[in-house]
């Protein structure tokens, strides 16, 4: 198995200056939603129908060598050969996060087999009213919940992925995570939004100062959950330290090639991974160097910085080691409130097997105005 620890040791001994931790693999950019804050469907509008072959995807996995593969897009469950693709990647002893809006989980579930190295990573930006506004379609939250329930009933690991915008109500995210725990969701990822050049609605994004205030509040409310974010990156989001962007830690491969310099900005597409690493002028990017980077604090640029970047502090290694060994990448299962193991070893809020009936969560406190970004 490709363990992160062993991988880092090998890379350190080899003397490599820059190397990836997670491959962002986009087999296609086609999507069944038009989320307001998404830059992908707008940036690649002219080539939205193109997709990679399984062989091209596997070539990228081999060429890159990262121990983790995040399959994103677009909506990867719309990729015709997603089952074969994930099977082949798992055969290479990689870990996979399949990033999805959850709508097609139930339909495509037969294409996958449960394993500790495969996660459905379902994007949810709030409770039902808020999330449906963010994705610009009614009913998506309920469909995602149905997908989560089906995946958990079948024995799969499931995480949630939440983007934090300027008007995000952190108390509502607290309620969301609490509800998702009753479904047996295994962990939660959170990250601030990035102001894509292709997205016209700019007032939904935050400045660095706003991000820090938001994540100070988020940390105090959400620390009781299994937040799958490194402690060093969370310190950065709260404004307690600085990190340098390490965009090469999360390289992106899509139908246009290797996207440079990063997942969020596009100045070039390279045919080979080596060209991305060697021909990208990394010293020209980052806060204070490129104006597009001024307010970026997104995980694809900075999560890897806690391992690969500069500005390290005494105790960082111990923090990361403790987090890695904590049992569930950021939180011990025994610390989750009101969760019990059911008969097949999977977690559910009341100790029972997950049902395919959708239990609708409560609305945000005091029926607060939903996050309006249209």
Q: How many domains does the chain have?
A: 1
pTM for the whole structure: 0.85
Least confident of 31-45, 111-125, 160-174, 300-314: 31-45
- Does 4 map to a domain? no
pLDDT at 310: 63
What residues contact residue 205 under an 8 Å CB cut-off, 6+ apart? 37, 165, 166, 193, 194, 195, 295
In terms of Cα–Cα distance, which of 35, 40, 89 is closest to 300? 40
Residue 372 belongs to a domain:
no
Average pLDDT over residues 76-95: 97
Are the CB atoms for 260 and 267 separated by under 8 Å?
Answer: yes
pLDDT of amino acid 367: 34
Q: Give the model confidence (pLDDT) of 207-240 as tens digits.
A: 999 999 999 999 988 989 999 988 899 999 999 9
More confident position, 339 or 88: 88
Range of the domain at 194: 19-367
Residue 74: inside a domain, yes or no?
Answer: yes
| Residue 169: CATH number of its domain | 3.80.30.10
Report if residue 165 sits inside a domain. yes
Going by pLDDT thresholds of 50, 70 and 90, the confidence category of residue 340 is very low
- Arithmetic mean of pLDDT, 110-134: 95
pLDDT for the residue 342: 37
Selection from 324, 366, 300, 363 nearest residue 133 by Cα = 363
Indicate the average pLDDT of the chain. 83
> Has residue 44 been placed in a domain?
yes
Cis peptide before 12 (omega within 30 of 0): no
Residue 2 lies in a domain: no
Cis check for the bond before 170: say yes or no (omega within 30 of 0). Answer: no
Above 90 in pLDDT, residue 328?
Answer: no
What pLDDT does 326 receive? Answer: 67
In a domain, 11, yes or no: no
């Amino acid at each position: 198995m490709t363990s992160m620890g062993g991988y880092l040791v090998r890379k350190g001994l080899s003397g490599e200056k820059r190397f990836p931790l997670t491959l962002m693999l986009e087999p296609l950019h086609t999507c069944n939603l038009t989320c307001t804050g998404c830059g992908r469907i707008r940036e690649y509008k002219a080539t939205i129908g193109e997709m990679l072959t399984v062989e091209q995807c596997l070539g990228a996995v081999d060429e890159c060598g990262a121990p983790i593969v995040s399959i994103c897009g677009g909506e990867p469950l719309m990729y015709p050969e997603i089952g074969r693709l994930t099977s082949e990647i798992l055969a290479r002893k990689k870990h996979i996060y399949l990033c999805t809006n959850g709508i097609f989980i139930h339909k495509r579930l037969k294409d996958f087999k449960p394993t500790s190295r495969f996660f459905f990573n379902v994007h949810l930006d709030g409770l039902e009213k808020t999330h449906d506004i963010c994705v610009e379609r009614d009913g998506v939250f309920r469909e995602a919940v149905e997908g989560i329930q089906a995946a958990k009933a079948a024995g799969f690991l499931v995480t949630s992925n939440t983007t934090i915008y300027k008007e995000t109500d952190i108390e509502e995210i607290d309620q969301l995570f609490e509800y998702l725990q009753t479904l047996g969701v295994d962990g939660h990822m959170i990250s601030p939004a990035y102001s894509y050049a292709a997205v016209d609605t700019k007032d939904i994004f935050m400045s660095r100062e706003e991000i820090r205030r938001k994540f100070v509040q988020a940390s105090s409310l959400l620390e009781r959950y299994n937040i799958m974010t490194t402690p060093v990156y969370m310190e950065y989001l709260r404004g307690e330290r600085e990190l340098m962007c390490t965009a090469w830690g999360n390289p992106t491969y899509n139908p246009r090639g290797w996207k440079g310099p990063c997942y969020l900005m596009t100045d070039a597409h390279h045919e080979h991974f080596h060209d991305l690493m060697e021909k990208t002028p990394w010293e020209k990017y980052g806060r204070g160097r490129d104006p597009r980077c001024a307010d970026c604090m997104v995980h694809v640029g900075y999560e890897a910085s806690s391992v690969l970047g500069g500005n390290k502090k005494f105790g960082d290694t111990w923090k990361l080691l403790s987090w890695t060994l904590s049992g569930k990448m950021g939180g011990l299962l025994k610390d989750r409130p009101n969760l019990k193991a059911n008969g097949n070893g999977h977690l559910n809020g009341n100790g029972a097997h997950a049902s395919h009936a959708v239990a609708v969560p409560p609305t945000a406190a005091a029926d607060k105005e939903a996050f309006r970004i249209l």
